[in-house]
Amino acid sequence: MLPTTPRVSKVITVLSGGVGAARLLRALSQEIDPRELVAVVNVGDDLVLHGLTICPDLDTITYTLAGLNNDELGWGLRGETWRVMEELDALGGEAWFRLGDRDLATHLYRSQRLADGATKTEVTAELCARHGVRVTLLPVTNDAVATEFVTDEGRMSFQEYFVGRRHDVVVRAIEVTGAAAARVTKEATAALEGATRLVIAPSNPLISIDPMLQVPGVREVLRARREDVVAVSPLVAGAALKGPADRLLCELGHDATTLGVVDFYEGLVGTWVIDEADVELSEAITSRGVAVEVTTTIMADPQNARRLAKVVLG
């Protein structure tokens, strides 16, 4: 099943990582026809484990839009059971990256379809269709891309750092292997070039959005369409709501504030949406020639999420 460009006149394309993007997409899909929404999704966190291809960001968004997400964990399916992991642990297998019994079906399905010759784009469309997700989800590339960390304790894969070490190790550099040679898919290119508005989700700039910007062609489209690009800051008063964005920004020499994120995306964004807690940064941001909208960016409360969606949609 090939994903088709949505048959609607307006398309909003959202560059997306995991949880923050999933929540924003859910709120946006309550404001507009979900068929008008496309998520171009990071694949730098993807891994092969037990011979299975696992795509955490694609799955987090799919499960969230299908209403099946596990809110407590922030990943995986709600009402999950862990019998396979318990057995695997008892066998002395690799059970540190926990795959729930039901979640495993997604990875089995994807891995078999990939082995059959389907692309990640096609498999994503199939999984979305099965779950009744009407937002179009597009992996940025079908090629292998892996975000890796150069740390004080050696080089680590994404999930070794993120889950294995709970992102509690000093990072010296982030490298996205395969990105320079990866080809952005034709579907993602069409979604980026044809959208009426491009949105950068409040995902981690360094490990969710930048791996996509490193795929040749993506950054260039954003730069050319800067006036149509709206970005939501992932930081509130200098802190990330989830994950290590603030810590990583600091460790890699950026300012761990919304202003630091604005500078990180220099030349790519026309309008910034920032949290009320950061209102005092508005002047500094506009002085960089960028428009600013101030609202609540914390989406835990559905009312706030919808308010944010309205601001993003302008």
User: Rule CB under 6 A: which residues touch ligand FO1?
Assistant: 17-18, 45, 54, 56-57, 59, 75-76, 97-99, 103, 159, 162-163
Distance CA 129, CA 169 (A): 39
Identify which of residues 29 and 208 has a Cβ nearer to ligand FO1 in the complex.
208
Query: If you search the block for the tokens 């190790």, which residue do you land on?
Result: 169
Least Cβ distance, residue 209 to ligand FO1 (angstroms) = 11
Identify which of residues 36 and 103 has a Cβ nearer to ligand FO1 in the complex.
103
Identify which of residues 57 and 278 has a Cβ nearer to ligand FO1 in the complex.
57
Q: What is the CA radius of gyration of the chain?
A: 19
Closest of 119, 83, 123 to residue 101, by C-alpha? 83
Least Cβ distance, residue 303 to ligand FO1 (angstroms) = 25
SS3 at position 92 = coil
Closest of 288, 279, 180 to residue 226, by C-alpha? 288
Identify which of residues 158 and 265 has a Cβ nearer to ligand FO1 in the complex.
158
Least Cβ distance, residue 97 to ligand FO1 (angstroms) = 5
| One-letter-per-residue 3-state SS of 131-169 | CCCCCEEEECECCCCEEEEEECCEEEEHHHHHHHCCCCC
Least Cβ distance, residue 46 to ligand FO1 (angstroms) = 9
Distance CA 48, CA 37 (A): 29
- DSSP label at residue 256: S
Least Cβ distance, residue 41 to ligand FO1 (angstroms) = 11
Cα distances (angstroms) measured from residue 242 to each of 5, 48, 112, 147, 210: 32, 24, 32, 19, 17
Report residue 162 CA to chain centroid gap. 15
Backbone torsions φ then ψ of 248, nearest 5 degrees: -65, -40
Identify which of residues 11 and 137 has a Cβ nearer to ligand FO1 in the complex.
137
Least Cβ distance, residue 309 to ligand FO1 (angstroms) = 21
Identify which of residues 103 and 187 has a Cβ nearer to ligand FO1 in the complex.
103
Identify which of residues 56 and 139 has a Cβ nearer to ligand FO1 in the complex.
56
Least Cβ distance, residue 75 to ligand FO1 (angstroms) = 4
Angle, helix 302-313 to helix 19-31, in steps of 10 degrees = 70
